[in-house]
Amino acid sequence: MANSLAEQVANLRETRVWRSIFRSGSGATNLHRSLSIQQNVFLHLASVKIRKRSLAFRFTWLLGTLSFGTFLILTLTGVPLMLYYHPSVPQAYADMKDLQFVVSAGVFLRNLHRWSAHAMVLLVFAHLFKVFYRGAYRTPREFNWVVGVVLLLLTLFLSYTGYLLPWDQLAFWAITVGSNLISAVPVMGAQIRFLVLGGHTVNANALLRFYVLHCVILPLLAAIFVAVHFWRIRKDGGIYTGESVRHE
Amino acid sequence: MSQDSKKETGEKDAGCVDCGRRQAFVKMGVGSIAVACTGAAVFGYEFLGPNVLYEPSPIVNAGKPDGFPPGSVTQDQASLVYIVHGAEGIYAMSATCTHLGCITAWKPELGIVACPCHGSKFTRDGTKIEGPAPRPLPWLRAWISDEGDLLIDRSDFLAQKQYVRT
């Protein structure tokens, strides 16, 4: 009865239920520690072992981690916002105002979502600049750099599609101007714009399409590319710490 | 690796009985996948383009032409067109900036049309004075209906300047 908390946790980890979920077992040996990473579906993307040196702040400034952190915040705040928002012309603006003034904690979630979105664009750019100026994009990391550029584009598209959803004058004209940029694409510009907006003007179809892109298609793509991005860090030999490139 | 490929070619050289048939099946498989992908691409393209649009009609009724006295420039905020009564007659002109689609405004005190977004300026006949707009403001096909109303087709840009016959 007088067991300490640590002992109780240790006992819990020996139970049959725990062991059926986490098979690596308890223990402080290198093998156990490696197994606990390798046998976890989320953690197995990362290395089971890294050099302590690669954790130094100066190599990364944690910019990639912070970008992913904002992505998680945006996912966690975005889903509850969806419960009060209807992507329809008569209701979108009123729903946004309700979130600000009527819904409990609505203004907190909305502002957290909004500020995190701004922060994510900033952090992703900072991350790419940091990687670029350190030369960390070079062989063997060139493919992960390309994945990173795709993630930058996805971040910008997420930011752009989210911009329309409040359905105020700022959103409407920003998307009008932005979608007219698409028209500058040679030959098929006007047709691409028509398909993106689902019409000739920014209207009900455009609002619904941007909503689906913002809440389903783009986050799913981003999650897939993030998984590949993290996995490639391990496959490319971990965080770039400035050693000379190996030639084989 | 190189041994395996040698072995493979060796087997082929020996003339394996099923090789031709297997390759035919592979071709049929790849072919049907290609056909399915093409079909899905066409299907997707057709699906994404709406066939019925619930957008306002491009043809608008501006009322009796008498409402536009000589020398006047009238901006219709609902239909986003200018109706100008110049020296040679009445014409209709789009109010949508040719740069990125913002709505321009008539400045009576300056006698020019100006865009609030990126600063393009136009004369009253649509010619660009300055700014990033790549083209002049287009003139729109306008005509007098049987009832005597001025009708404007906002989707029909005139290639040459043409005044409404009144």
CA-based nearest distance A203→chain B, Å: 8
What confidence tens digit (pLDDT) does each residue in A130-183 have? 999 999 999 999 999 999 999 999 999 999 999 999 999 999 999 999 999 999
Q: What are B84-129's pLDDT values in tens digits?
A: 998 889 999 999 999 999 999 999 999 999 999 999 999 999 999 9
Interface confidence, given as ipTM, is 0.72
Please judge whether B50 and A204 are an interchain contact, meaning their C-beta atoms are less than 8 angstroms apart. no
Pick A194's closest partner by Cβ from B49, B99, B102.
Answer: B49
- CB contacts of B101 in chain A (<8 Å) are 176-177, 179-180
Q: Which tens digits make up the pLDDT trace of A110-130?
A: 999 999 999 999 999 999 999
- 3-state SS, residue B55: coil
Q: Kindly report the nearest CA distance between residue A234 and chain B, in angstroms.
A: 27
| Residue B31, SS3 per DSSP | helix
Q: How many CB pairs under 8 A join A and B?
A: 31
Contacts of A199 in chain B (CB under 8 A): 50, 53, 55
Cβ atoms within 10 Å, residue A184: 11
- Residues of chain A in contact with residue B55, where contact means CB-CB under 8 angstroms, are 199-201, 203
Does pTM surpass 0.90?
A: no
pLDDT digits (tens, 9 = 90+) for A200-235: 999 999 999 999 999 999 999 999 999 999 999 999
What residues of B are in contact with residue A184 (Cβ under 8 Å)? none
